């Protein structure tokens, strides 16, 4: 049975690629929510337009993907979040940006809107105002409970966000996050932008995933235009994506250990991370490899000495990394902090469709590189590690195994990198009007969804970028419950959710 077969719909958007998008009535919308609630489908994305809302869904069994759209003729849509909690922050965001109101919603508190923009519902195209009210945190009541408020400016060099802990002595009873501080209005800046400008914005959605976002954006454009990047370009894209994954995992493994007061590991992985960035700089001319991937292909070839720089990097990693793993594995004081700390229940990981190491450390066997087999991954061999424990230790081990897999992938890519074109020319304009594309790309922290619509002149009409963090942040709230406040930095680091990527 196809994913849309059980969902009554009125029409299908013909220009939506590669997966179907169907317009549904209220009955279809409710049927889709039913399937999410039953667990038959996983919510992949939920975003708005001035007069419509869209939900992307995945059938985990068949790996089929589809989008359902609901026309908000009365400016409202039936609430998804009131029945399916993973939709909550996305639903509040849709309301903040577009003013579309979920009917029968339990929670309509603003999410991104801190009443500082000087206008309400900035992407709605309308001029309506909203009453400013102080933000209400959820209540936590009981004897001897106290609150600890942290942020938005944190003690370390990290992104801004607010955490409200309610604690009983040392133990956290509830953590509530409030984000939105880095909201820059990326999706509004994208509207009407040229592909070139929009690709740059996509690159800067979350700096640590610059390659993954550029990759996803480029592929979404290519899907919409029905073109394909040349093989050499796709190999170079994956090369950069794996380098980015390596650099981030190495940095994070050390940072997690550092939060467990084991600075030696941090110093050692810091060296390896820096070596990755330097090799990336030699090969692609930018340490974070920004602005290399564009719709159609890549803007530059790997430098003449890039391949040898990358081979030297791999040799160094193969020599040093196994010893660092041994060190992690043999340090009892470190394991004492990471084992059984910050457990994400497998059931929650499944319900929230948690991507990346957060999902895979809690038994969710999903990786966009394998599930959607986008080029060049369809022709590369790699394993997707999965563990069940769901604690900080499991998330560290998933990252360790992923470092090993990235090394294997980079080797394969370097071996396969034959001569070839770098770019497929884009059409100057599209004869038949708007077209839409969607992709799922595996960033280091999980799958990034990019959905866009291009107009006839190849300008972006609307683009939505969904970071894996949307479905990971809420799980961090559950993971910290019952732990002590002092373990929060450790748990938080093991997630390393993006702020900029969800604040947009």
Partner 1 sequence: MRKTLLESLTHGSLTEPAPAPDDSALAELATKVDRAAQARLGRSLAIRQVDAGSCNGCELEIHALSNAFYDIERFGLRFVASPRHADVLLVTGPVTKNMRQALERTYNATPDPKWVVAVGGCAIDGGIFKGSYASVGGVSAVVPVDLHINGCPPSPTDLLKGLLALLEHVGGKG
160 binds partner 1 (CB under 8 A): yes
364 contact choice in ligand SF4, partner 1, none (CB below 5 to 8 Å, kind-dependent) = none
Among residues 204, 406, 391, the alpha carbon closest in space to that of 291 is found at: 204
Element (DSSP H or E) covering residue 24: strand 21-24
Residues in 168-187 at the binding interface with partner 1, rule: CB under 8 A = 180-186
287 lines the binding site for ligand SF4 (CB under 6 A): no
**Per-residue contact string for residues 162-201; x = within reach of ligand SF4 by CB under 6 A:** ----------------------------------------
Contact flags string 298-337 toward partner 1, x per CB under 8 A:
-------------------------xx--x--xx------
245-284 positions binding ligand SF4, by CB under 6 A: none
- Residue 323: enclosing H or E segment and its boundaries? helix 306-329
CB proximity list for 157: less than 8 A, separation 6 or greater: none
Q: What is the dihedral of CA 202, 203, 205, 211, to 10 degrees?
A: 120
**Count of alpha carbons within 13 Å of 170, Cβ hemisphere only?**
4
Question: Which residue is at the shortest CB distance from ligand SF4?
Answer: 204
Residue 234 bridge partners (DSSP): none
Residue 55 or 450: the one with the smaller Cβ distance to partner 1 is: 450
Biggest CA-to-CA distance, the chain:
70
Closest CB 188 distance from partner 1, rounded Å? 7
Cβ distance to partner 1 smaller for residue 99 or 251: 251
Q: C-alpha angle 205/235/199, rounded to 5°?
A: 25
Tell me how far apart the alpha carbons of residues 161 and 481 are, in angstroms, rounded to a whole number: 19
- Binding flag, residue 105, partner 1 (CB under 8 A): no
Burial (CB count within 10 angstroms: exposed 0-12, middle 13-18, buried 19+), residue 326: exposed
Nearest to 221 by CA among 58, 423, 460: 460
Q: Answer yes or no whether residue 204 interacts with ligand SF4 by CB under 6 A.
A: yes
Q: Which helix (H) or strand (E) holds 494?
A: helix 488-495
Binding status of residue 207 toward ligand SF4 by CB under 6 A: yes
Q: Which does 40 bind (CB under 5 to 8 A by kind): partner 1, ligand SF4, none?
A: none
Q: Which residue has the tokens 């759209």?
A: 69
40 is an interface residue for ligand SF4 by CB under 6 A: no
Footprint of partner 1 (CB under 8 A)? 112, 114, 116-119, 122, 152-153, 155-160, 180-186, 188-189, 200-201, 204-208, 210, 251, 264, 267-268, 270-271, 273-274, 277, 287-288, 290, 323-324, 327, 330-331, 498-500, 503
Footprint of ligand SF4 (CB under 6 A)? 204, 207
């Amino acid at each position: 049975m196809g994913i849309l077969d059980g969902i009554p719909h009125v029409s299908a958007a013909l220009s939506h690629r590669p997966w179907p998008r169907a317009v549904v009535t209220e009955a279809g919308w409710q049927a889709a929510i039913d399937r999410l609630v039953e667990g038959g489908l996983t919510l992949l994305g939920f975003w708005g337009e001035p007069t419509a809302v869209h939900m992307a869904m995945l059938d985990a069994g068949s790996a089929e993907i589809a989008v359902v759209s609901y026309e908000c003729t009365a400016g409202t849509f039936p609430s998804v979040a009131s029945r399916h909690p993973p939709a909550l922050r996305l639903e509040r965001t849709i309301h903040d940006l577009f003013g579309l109101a979920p009917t029968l919603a339990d929670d309509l508190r603003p999410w991104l809107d801190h009443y500082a923009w000087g206008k309400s519902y900035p992407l709605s195209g309308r001029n309506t105002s909203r009453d400013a009210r102080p933000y209400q945190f959820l209540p936590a009541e009981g004897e001897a409970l106290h609150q600890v408020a942290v942020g938005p400016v944190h003690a370390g060099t990290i992104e801004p966000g607010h955490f409200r802990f309610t604690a009983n002595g040392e133990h956290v009873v509830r953590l509530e996050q409030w984000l939105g501080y880095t909201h820059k209005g990326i999706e509004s800046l994208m509207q009407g932008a040229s592909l070139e400008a929009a690709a740059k914005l996509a690159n800067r959605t979350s700096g640590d995933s610059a390659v993954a976002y550029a990759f996803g954006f480029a592929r979404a454009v290519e899907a919409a235009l029905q073109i394909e990047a040349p093989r050499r370009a796709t190999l170079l894209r994956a090369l950069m994506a794996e380098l980015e994954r390596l650099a981030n995992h190495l940095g994070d493994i050390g940072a997690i250990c550092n939060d467990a007061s084991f600075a030696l590991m941090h110093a050692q992985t810091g060296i390896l991370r820096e070596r990755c960035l330097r090799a990336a700089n030699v090969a692609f001319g930018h340490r974070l490899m920004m602005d290399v991937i564009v719709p159609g292909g890549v803007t530059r070839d790997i430098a003449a000495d890039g391949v040898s720089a990358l081979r030297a990097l791999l040799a160094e990693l193969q020599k040093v990394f196994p010893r660092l793993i041994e060190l992690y594995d043999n340090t009892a004081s470190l394991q004492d902090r990471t084992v059984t700390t910050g457990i994400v229940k497998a059931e929650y990981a499944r319900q929230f469709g948690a991507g990346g190491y957060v999902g895979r450390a809690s038994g969710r066997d999903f990786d966009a590189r394998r599930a959607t087999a986008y080029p060049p991954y369809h022709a590369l061999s790699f394993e997707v590690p999965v563990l069940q424990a769901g604690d900080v230790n499991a998330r560290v081990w998933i990252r360790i195994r992923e470092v090993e897999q990235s090394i294997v992938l980079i080797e394969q890519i370097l071996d396969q990198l034959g001569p070839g074109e770098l770019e497929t020319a884009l059409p100057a304009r599209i004869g038949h009007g708007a077209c839409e594309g969607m992709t799922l790309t595996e960033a280091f922290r999980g799958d990034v969804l990019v959905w866009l619509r291009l107009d006839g002149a190849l300008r972006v009409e609307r683009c939505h970028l969904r970071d894996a963090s949307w479905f990971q942040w809420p799980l961090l709230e559950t993971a910290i419950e019952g732990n002590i406040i002092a373990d929060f930095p450790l748990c938080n680091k093991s997630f390393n959710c993006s702020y900029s990527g969800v604040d947009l």
